[in-house]
Chains A and B, each alone.
Chain A
Amino acid sequence: MATREQDPLSHLAALAHATEDLRPTDELTDAMLLAIVPPDERLARITRETSDLAPCEDFAASVMAKVGASRGARPAEPAWSSGVVRFGRFALLGAAAAAVLGLWLSRTAETGYDSAVLESVASVEVYE
């Protein structure tokens, strides 16, 4: 409220006085210099300054630990009823069941055939 009541010219003078000692930091100069340097020159300087980047000795040990851990961790066994595993197991069970059935049918047929042959032989003998 007090500012509004103040004479505009004296208010401006007060603002001018208050902002008299504004100074940029050195960072502004750096930013201005960077702004006028072409990108390729900046990249070339960054390339030089990062040319000796290297990790410390512990890095290799850390990688080996991670590699060892990933090797030890086996993927979880999928549930019997999931996806391909389900179809694979049903196929195996089906094939086994078919084999057993085939064997049983073959043995039954063989037994029936044998008895029929024996009966025929017996009837031929009786006839003779």
Chain B
Amino acid sequence: MSVDLRLVAARVAGGDVAAFRPIVDHTRVPLYRLAARLVGNLADAEDALQDAYASAFRALSDGRYDGRAKIETWLYRIVTNACVDLLRKRRERPAEDTREPRFDGLVRAEARVALNELDAMLKALQPQDRAALVLVTVEGLSAKEAAEALGCSEGALEQRLVRARAALRTKTEAGEVSDGHA
């Protein structure tokens, strides 16, 4: 059954808190995957996604969603921003402790290993460059969609992609390869 999330969003804007639940139910799987791929580990992805949903709820309640973009696209942008913020904080203050994810019951071991590998591969990139590469190469977004999610022009997105790919090539040529277990 398809749900018109714009109508649901209007109910949230009218003060119906419970109406936010169908929005979370409908979008949590693709957004969880997006956050995990952007930040490279499940614990951080869960934190970023929860913050993004809380932020989206406040925006809906305050009438800051104008209804021009689809709810899914709008949430995609909020989650991307939350993940880029988290990556920036992680670069400034690397965490010493490794936290465990709490909602990863359905995640396969292969996916966890792949996420570790992705994080190790992209660790040296600038958060915005990393996000651009993940959105286009891993999430499969078009340049226009990725630029919209990152809130930049398509030209700026191309520059970020070029920088990210060059950094990856240099890393591979220098033999700095890790499989994520290091």
Contacts and interface: CB of A to CB of B under 8 A. Distances in A.
Contacts of A49: 110-111, 113-114
Interface stretch (B81-89, B151-159, B165-173): B165-173
Contact of A43 (B115, B137, B169): B137
A54 B115 contact: no
B57 A70 contact: yes
A52 interface: yes
A49 B108 CA distance: 9
Interface in B57-77: 57-58, 61
Interface in A52-73: 52-56, 58-60, 62-64, 66-68, 70-71
B168 A39 contact: yes
B138 interface: yes
Interface in A20-40: 27, 30-31, 34-35, 38-40
Contacts of B50: 62-63, 66
A17 to B, nearest CB: 31
Main secondary structure of the interface of B (DSSP, over half): helix
A89 interface: no
B17 A55 contact: no
Contacts, number: 115
Interface in B20-52: 20-21, 24-25, 28-29, 32-33, 36-37, 46, 49-50
Interface size grouping (class) on chain B? 35 or more
A45 interface: yes
Interface stretch (B2-10, B99-107, B142-150): B99-107
B181 interface: yes
A3 B95 CA distance: 44
Contact of A35 (B20, B37, B110, B175): B175
B79 to A, nearest CB: 12
Q: Which 9 A-B pairs have CB atoms at the shortest separation, nearest pair first?
A: A49-B114, A56-B105, A59-B103, A55-B103, A53-B33, A39-B168, A35-B177, A67-B57, A55-B32
15 contacts: A34-B177, A39-B165, A43-B121, A49-B114, A50-B36, A50-B37, A53-B32, A54-B33, A55-B32, A56-B103, A60-B21, A62-B102, A62-B103, A66-B54, A67-B53
Interface of B: 17-18, 20-21, 24-25, 28-29, 32-33, 36-37, 46, 49-50, 53-54, 57-58, 61, 102-108, 110-111, 113-115, 117-118, 121, 133, 137-138, 140, 165, 168-169, 172, 175, 177-179, 181
Interface of A: 27, 30-31, 34-35, 38-40, 42-43, 45-47, 49-56, 58-60, 62-64, 66-68, 70-71
Given A50-B138, A67-B57, A68-B17, 13 more contacts: A30-B179, A31-B177, A34-B177, A43-B121, A46-B117, A50-B111, A53-B32, A53-B36, A54-B32, A60-B25, A63-B28, A63-B53, A66-B54
